[in-house]
């Protein structure tokens, strides 16, 4: 519609498309609840009060709130394609997400980003894209692609591309690495998100001064407070494994709340189906004592304003008519969702919409050298061994020094002490790279669990009690062209196929959640006691989050930012 048409409709000189009557508008700009009618024309709010309209909707006193926005998410980590992800979250009031397609970019490069842009077009949830800044994340792993600043510059003017995603190479930024700084330079005033776990003091100041304005990796209130005082926007994260909301929400107050927003980062479909999406985080914040208005601001206008989304995030004239209709403000019970003036979900369910086939344009991405997994043995070379220690509920790990269990001159899994063998198998180029190490905290007593989702390069990762079951799990993942497997007695016990880049399913959220529960249930039967073994497993190969990780090239000491020996110094 023309500007003239919108003005005439706003003045009431021509009918609105829709008049939403008897609404309690959650006005996140003024901080008020306003009893009024809301007129919508050409997908935008045009005014408050009575208007003649082509159609009417009576809310009978329900709350009309802006659609929720997830400020940082990897859609691939939901194991759903963009259309299936939208179907899963739109009923929870989500109208937009800020997506970092970092995972698929590490597998397929620019082709992966193009797939995500293409597959997310025209959905009832707007998918904005921040371009992955670290593909690969480090030089200490093998990824399926490499994106430099020139590659990213070619994509910056694409529709819905709004900035540069989490700059995980914070050591490179602080050290003045030429290519890391080039990726910052090409942003040209667009937002650059941060990723700086534990960074503090002058190094943090330098990182911020480079132009990086947000961080989603805070795990303590003290860390968040320091970053807040230095001007950063704090992304309060509550995902499937990364559960930081209760800790961080304690520092939110009336004076600083506009610097906070909600993000999920990585969230599995069973959690979305059972708990919700951003609506779940809003409920949690309210339960922790945050006012409903402040919590909803953190889920809407704060995020929109940080990212420069000028007509999103509020119920005011000129803004997109993206609404979550709530039956109850305290419980954040979403009854209906409207996108650009059109109902897209009712009673928690998405209405039908068209989308392209899930695997359209995606090639096979699981390619290994089969000879590389024939021998997964680790020769004993010392009396003290470095072991990755899982921290439940976090993606950080501990650096443990333990005495290995040795049989016939080789280190084996020690189930009595919960020390299991671990391998990362390169799956992009069939290079034959296999990194071997050990981990404590998985709890398996029998069998093995493996996945082609292993942040950030997404090679095949496997943890097991014996080499035979580890090989069986890897081989099944190759047969499925990606996925997750629990194996015992040399055969699969449960599996979840992920044929789209080895990261996403071509099935619905319900089907994926069901298969994931079967995999997790099988792991639990074999002794694993983690809340979500797949998420925990996937982050054991992430060499940009402390302290100790394993890649296809070997063991990584993240604090030293270098590959290290499996054997402790002096051991």
In the structure, what pLDDT confidence band is assigned to residue 537 with cuts at 50, 70 and 90? very high
Q: What are residue 19's DSSP bridge partners?
A: 39, 56
pLDDT in tens, 300-328: 999 999 999 999 999 999 999 999 999 99
In the structure, what pLDDT confidence band is assigned to residue 357 with cuts at 50, 70 and 90? low
Same domain, 375 and 250: no
Say if pTM beats, i.e. exceeds, 0.75: yes
pLDDT attached to residue 361: 67
CATH value at residue 301: 3.20.20.140
Q: Does residue 147 contact residue 112 with C-beta atoms inside 8 Å?
A: no
Domain membership flag for residue 331: no
Same domain, 410 and 277: no
**Cβ neighbours for 57, distance < 8 A, ≥ 6 positions apart:** 18, 19, 20, 21
Mean pLDDT over 262-286 rounds to: 96
- Does residue 1 have a pLDDT over 80? no
Task: Tell me what the pLDDT averaged over the chain comes to.
Answer: 95
Domain membership flag for residue 220: yes
Domain membership flag for residue 59: no
111-125, 353-367, 432-446, 461-475: least confidently modelled range: 353-367
pLDDT attached to residue 545: 84
Two tokens, residue 99: 């997506």
Q: Which residue among 289, 309, 329 closes a domain?
A: 309
Instruction: Measure the CA–CA gap between 341 and 436, rounded to whole angstroms.
Output: 54
**Cβ neighbours for 180, distance < 8 A, ≥ 6 positions apart:** 167, 169, 172, 173
pLDDT in tens, 188-241: 999 999 999 899 999 999 999 999 999 999 999 999 999 999 999 999 999 987
pLDDT attached to residue 196: 93
How many structural domains are present in the chain? 2
Q: Which residue among 262, 292, 309 closes a domain?
A: 309
Domain membership flag for residue 530: yes
Mean pLDDT over 535-543 rounds to: 91
Mean pLDDT over 440-449 rounds to: 97
Q: Cα-atom radius of gyration of the chain, to the nearest Å?
A: 24
Domain membership flag for residue 321: no
Instruction: Measure the CA–CA gap between 194 and 307, rounded to whole angstroms.
Output: 13
Same domain, 93 and 225: yes
Same domain, 173 and 273: yes
Same domain, 384 and 301: no
Same domain, 115 and 255: yes
Same domain, 168 and 284: yes
Instruction: Measure the CA–CA gap between 361 and 114, rounded to whole angstroms.
Output: 10
Domain of 256 in residue numbering reads as 67-309
- Does residue 571 have a pLDDT over 80? no
Q: Does residue 158 contact residue 114 with C-beta atoms inside 8 Å?
A: no
Same domain, 399 and 480: yes
In the structure, what pLDDT confidence band is assigned to residue 70 with cuts at 50, 70 and 90? very high
Mean pLDDT over 247-268 rounds to: 96
Instruction: Measure the CA–CA gap between 292 and 26, rounded to whole angstroms.
Output: 10
Nearest to 294 by CA among 305, 282, 277: 282
Q: What are residue 18's DSSP bridge partners?
A: 40, 55
Domain membership flag for residue 159: yes
Same domain, 385 and 238: no
Domain membership flag for residue 119: yes
pLDDT attached to residue 65: 98
Helix (H, G, I), strand (E, B) or coil at 461: strand
Residue 123 has phi, psi (to 5 degrees) of -85, 160
Q: SS3 sequence, 42-96? A: CCEEEEECCCCEEEEEECCCCEEEECEEEEEECHHHHCCCHHHHHHHHHHHCEEE
Same domain, 294 and 376: no
Q: Which residue among 309, 328, 349 closes a domain?
A: 309
Same domain, 282 and 426: no
pLDDT attached to residue 570: 64
Domain membership flag for residue 358: no
Q: Using a pLDDT cut of 70, give the percent of the chain over it.
A: 99
Same domain, 187 and 96: yes
| DSSP classification of residue 268 | -
Per the rule left: phi > 0, alpha: psi between -120 and 50, beta: everything else, 462 is beta
Instruction: Measure the CA–CA gap between 472 and 370, rounded to whole angstroms.
Output: 12
pLDDT attached to residue 561: 87
pLDDT in tens, 232-253: 999 999 998 789 999 999 999 9
């Amino acid at each position: 519609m023309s500007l003239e048409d919108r003005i005439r409709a706003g003045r009431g000189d021509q009918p609105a498309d829709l008049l939403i009557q008897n609404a309690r508008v959650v006005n996140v700009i003024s901080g008020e609840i306003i009893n009024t009618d809301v007129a919508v024309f050409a997908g935008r709010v045009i005014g408050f009060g009575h208007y003649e309209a082509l159609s009417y909707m009576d809310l009978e006193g329900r709350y009309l709130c802006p659609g929720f926005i997830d400020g940082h998410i990897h859609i691939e980590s939901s194991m759903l394609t963009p259309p299936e992800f939208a179907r899963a979250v739109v009923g929870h009031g989500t109208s937009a997400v800020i997506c970092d397609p970092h995972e698929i970019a590490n597998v397929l490069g620019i082709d992966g980003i193009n797939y995500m842009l293409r597959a997310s077009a025209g959905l009832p949830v707007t998918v904005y894209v921040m371009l992955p800044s670290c593909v690969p994340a480090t030089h200490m792993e093998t990824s399926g692609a490499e994106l430099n600043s020139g590659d990213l510059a070619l994509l910056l003017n694409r529709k819905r591309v709004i900035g540069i995603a989490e700059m995980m190479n914070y050591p490179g930024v602080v050290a003045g690495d030429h290519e890391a700084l080039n990726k910052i330079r090409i942003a040209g005033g667009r937002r650059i998100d941060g990723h700086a776990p534990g960074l503090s003091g002058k190094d943090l100041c330098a990182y911020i001064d480079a132009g990086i304005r947000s961080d989603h990796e805070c795990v303590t209130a003290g860390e968040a407070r320091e970053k807040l005082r230095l001007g950063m926007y704090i992304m309060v994260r509550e995902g499937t494994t990364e559960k930081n909301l209760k800790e961080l929400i304690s520092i939110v107050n009336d004076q600083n709340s506009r610097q906070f927003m909600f993000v999920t980062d990585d969230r599995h479909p069973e959690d979305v189906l059972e708990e919700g999406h951003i609506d779940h985080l809003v409920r949690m914040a309210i339960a922790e004592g945050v006012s409903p208005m402040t919590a909803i601001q953190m889920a809407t206008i704060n995020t929109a304003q940080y990212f420069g989304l000028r007509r999103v995030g509020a119920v005011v004239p000129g803004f997109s008519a993206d609404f979550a209709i709530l039956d109850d403000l305290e419980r954040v019970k979403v009854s209906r969702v409207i996108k650009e003036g059109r109902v897209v979900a009712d009673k928690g369910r998405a209405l039908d919409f068209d989308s392209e086939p899930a695997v359209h344009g995606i090639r096979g991405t699981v390619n290994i050298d089969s000879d590389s997994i024939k021998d997964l043995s680790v020769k004993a070379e010392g009396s003290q061994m470095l072991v990755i220690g899982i921290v439940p509920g976090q993606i950080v790990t501990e650096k443990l020094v333990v005495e290995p269990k040795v049989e016939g001159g080789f280190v084996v899994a020690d189930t009595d002490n919960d020390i299991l063998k671990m391998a990362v198998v390169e799956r992009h180029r069939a290079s034959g790279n296999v990194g071997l190490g050990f981990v404590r905290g998985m709890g398996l007593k029998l069998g093995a669990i493996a996945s082609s989702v292993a942040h950030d390069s997404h090679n095949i990762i496997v943890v097991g009690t014996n080499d035979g079951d580890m090989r069986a799990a890897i081989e099944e993942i190759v047969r499925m062209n990606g996925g997750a497997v629990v194996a015992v007695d040399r055969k699969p016990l449960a599996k979840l196929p992920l044929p789209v880049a080895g990261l996403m399913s071509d099935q619905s959220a319900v089907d994926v959640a069901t298969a994931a529960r079967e995999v997790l249930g099988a792991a639990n039967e074999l002794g694993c006691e983690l809340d979500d073994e797949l998420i925990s497993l996937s982050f054991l190969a992430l060499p940009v989050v402390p302290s100790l990780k394993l890649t296809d090239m070997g063991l990584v000491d993240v604090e030293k930012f270098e590959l290290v020996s499996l054997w402790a110094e002096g051991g």
